[in-house]
A = this chain, B = another copy of it.
Amino acid sequence: MSSEFFERHQPVLERALAAAADRGYWSPFAESPSPRNYGETANEDGRAAFEALRGKPFPLELSGADGTVGGEQSPYGFGLDITYPRVPPAVLVQSAARAFESWRRAGPRTWVGVSLEILARLNRRSFEIAHAVQHTTGQGFMMAFQAGGPHAQDRGLEAVTYAWQEMSRIPDVALWEKPQGKNDPIKMEKRFTVVPRGTALVIGCSTFPTWNGYPGLFASLATGNVVIVKPHPGAILPLAITVQVAREVLAETGFDPNVVQLAAHAAGDDTAQQLAQDPSVKIIDFTGSSANGNWLEQNARQAQVYTEKAGVNQIIIDSAEDLKGVVRNLAFSLALYSGQMCTAPQNIYVPRDGIKTAEGHVSFDDVAAALGTAVSKLCADPAKAVELTGAIQNEGIVQRIEQARALGLPVVVDSQSLTHPQFENARVHTPLVLRTDASNPDISKEWFGPIAFVVATDSTAHSIELARNSVIQHGALSFGAYTTNDEVAAQIQDAAEMSGVALSLNLTGGVFVNQTAAFSDFHGTGANPAANAALSDSAFVSNRFRVVQTRRHV
């Protein structure tokens, strides 16, 4: 059964290996929710499936559960009223260790085959997952579908692909034949076994539970580890569905479903710390705050720790062919999911003396004003705007808008509260853009949410220096720049390489600085404080397993 899965999905795997090598566009999971891709009834079926989950215990049986947890609130203004089994951390790790015994022996083809089958089945539940993502994270439906469904599945498949690439280069057996001059050669048979590390922990976040959760989950699972998925208490459902699908595939193939477990827990308890410091937990994938990520790096010393934390993302405007295109693109990046993305731009550096454009010199004030206008236009029609902004995930982010206003800086465009046409209690807030200059220490911290600063600098050289130093000190997951000057572009690229952040140059069309594409763009670099790993590369997978050899004479 499990080897059938491998064979069934092998063509996709081979195409994925090629895509990861050439890094051109490729996506196996259709990003358009069109009925042509997912069937005529998929949308309604998905919505119905989501609605059927509300107000009930989630259908997941976990060994050793001692009660339930729940309490998720949709940012669109209602409670989900779903409960999940709660299993004490000590029981989770014991069940994981038992499940490991047979899983570890199954070998790379099985681990990869099962992982690919799970992804294929998740794809078929993309609409249900989209609703689950929308009503936990606050994303608009289209983003919840794409980022929470097919794009997350792409990133999962990407991790499996790298895992297979690394494992498949280890031969099962080698004949070692050493010449001995006139004597017979020494001949040995050497067998190589891929040995997983053991129990892996995935710590999910509240904004992209699947997109940020799948790479670690599938990298660990495909390399033979057993996985405990600990969702954020505010966004359990998307990962609960994921775990349900994984356990269904595992059970069908005769494995202990506890190869993948859910660690739903109440906000503020110490489940994450207990699991992260358990001696049997050997791998941790984390997405969340810098404080928690740094704590894991410092304290979970028994584990390989992969973190994606916070950063301060940087934009440099030096000059532009098409200023309207620039500000339109940036306004979209600021409004998209209300800036609740680790890749959303925050600091936009513009020389105080203005910039060159195709239409001539444009002053700093006019650049700022153009951006403000672009944001206002984008958000002018609430019905359209809410699809872009979605809702604010939690009250802390709404408060942060207030804190930013209280800085007393000149306002480029103010944040508005919008009324969602469908969900009257939804928390919808458009971007707040403020003006400041480079000496303001407030721009060196992350203002997660719909908050950005247009920062006056002495010159583009100064902008580059600020951006580079900020990335080195505070980290960044994205960096965009606009320039018509090749030499300036080269200087900016050098700054990106020195500080270790991916660069997007002159985005004015349908690609945005906060979006990356699996198989082509690395997400994060692992080279600055915002993340210690990249999604996905060899380093992300190659230490999740080890190789043990047995040699003997033949």
Interface residues of A, Cβ cutoff 8 Å to B? 21-25, 166, 169, 171, 174-180, 186, 188, 190, 192-193, 195, 197, 297-298, 301, 493, 496-497, 500-511, 517, 520-522, 525-527, 534, 537-539, 542-543, 546-553
CA distance A517 to B175 in the complex (A): 13
State how many angstroms separate the Cβ of A149 from the closest Cβ of chain B. Answer: 17
A/B interface sample: 22 pairs, CB < 8 A: A21-B169, A25-B179, A176-B520, A186-B511, A188-B511, A190-B520, A193-B493, A500-B546, A502-B549, A505-B550, A505-B552, A506-B552, A506-B553, A511-B551, A522-B549, A525-B548, A526-B546, A537-B542, A538-B538, A539-B542, A539-B543, A543-B543
A551 close to B177 (CB less than 8 A): no
Residues of B within 8 A of A22 (CB): 171, 174
State how many angstroms separate the Cβ of A491 from the closest Cβ of chain B. Answer: 12
Copies of this chain: 2
Partner pick for A177 among B24, B177, B497, B542, CB 8 A cutoff: B24
Residues of B within 8 A of A552 (CB): 504-507
Knowing that A176-B517, A193-B497, A502-B549 touch, tell me 6 more A-B residue pairs with CB under 8 angstroms.
A166-B538, A193-B493, A503-B551, A507-B552, A522-B549, A539-B542
State how many angstroms separate the Cβ of A197 from the closest Cβ of chain B. Answer: 7
B520 close to A547 (CB less than 8 A): no
CA distance A163 to B178 in the complex (A): 26
CA distance A206 to B534 in the complex (A): 37
Which 10 A-B pairs rank lowest in CB-CB distance, beginning with the nearest? Answer: A23-B174, A527-B546, A505-B552, A538-B542, A539-B542, A539-B543, A503-B550, A25-B178, A497-B548, A25-B176
Q: Which residue of B lies closest to A294 (CB)?
A: B301
B24 close to A176 (CB less than 8 A): yes
CA distance A179 to B509 in the complex (A): 14
CA distance A297 to B511 in the complex (A): 41
A496 close to B550 (CB less than 8 A): yes
CA distance A23 to B547 in the complex (A): 13
A174 close to B553 (CB less than 8 A): no
B511 close to A174 (CB less than 8 A): no
CA distance A495 to B176 in the complex (A): 24
A192 close to B23 (CB less than 8 A): yes
Residues of B within 8 A of A505 (CB): 550-552
CA distance A521 to B547 in the complex (A): 10
Residues of B within 8 A of A298 (CB): 301
Q: Which residue of B lies closest to A508 (CB)?
A: B553
CA distance A24 to B551 in the complex (A): 12
* Known A174-B24, A186-B511, A539-B543: A521·B551 in contact at CB below 8 Å: yes
Residues of B within 8 A of A493 (CB): 193, 550
A549 close to B503 (CB less than 8 A): yes
Residues of B within 8 A of A548 (CB): 496-497, 500-503, 525, 527
Residues of B within 8 A of A539 (CB): 539, 542-543
CA distance A548 to B548 in the complex (A): 33
State how many angstroms separate the Cβ of A335 from the closest Cβ of chain B. Answer: 20
State how many angstroms separate the Cβ of A178 from the closest Cβ of chain B. Answer: 5
A553 close to B511 (CB less than 8 A): yes
Residue in A177, A179, A180, A526 whose Cβ sees the most chain B Cβ within 10 Å: A526
Residue in A24, A177, A298 whose Cβ sees the most chain B Cβ within 10 Å: A24
Residue in A197, A508, A511 whose Cβ sees the most chain B Cβ within 10 Å: A511
Residues of B within 8 A of A197 (CB): 527
Q: Which residue of B lies closest to A493 (CB)?
A: B550
Residues of B within 8 A of A190 (CB): 23, 520-521
Partner pick for A546 among B171, B177, B534, CB 8 A cutoff: B534
State how many angstroms separate the Cβ of A85 from the closest Cβ of chain B. Answer: 30
Partner pick for A301 among B177, B297, B508, B538, CB 8 A cutoff: B297
Residues of B within 8 A of A525 (CB): 195, 546-548
Q: Which residue of B lies closest to A183 (CB)?
A: B510
Partner pick for A526 among B500, B527, B543, CB 8 A cutoff: B543
State how many angstroms separate the Cβ of A449 from the closest Cβ of chain B. Answer: 26
B547 close to A537 (CB less than 8 A): yes
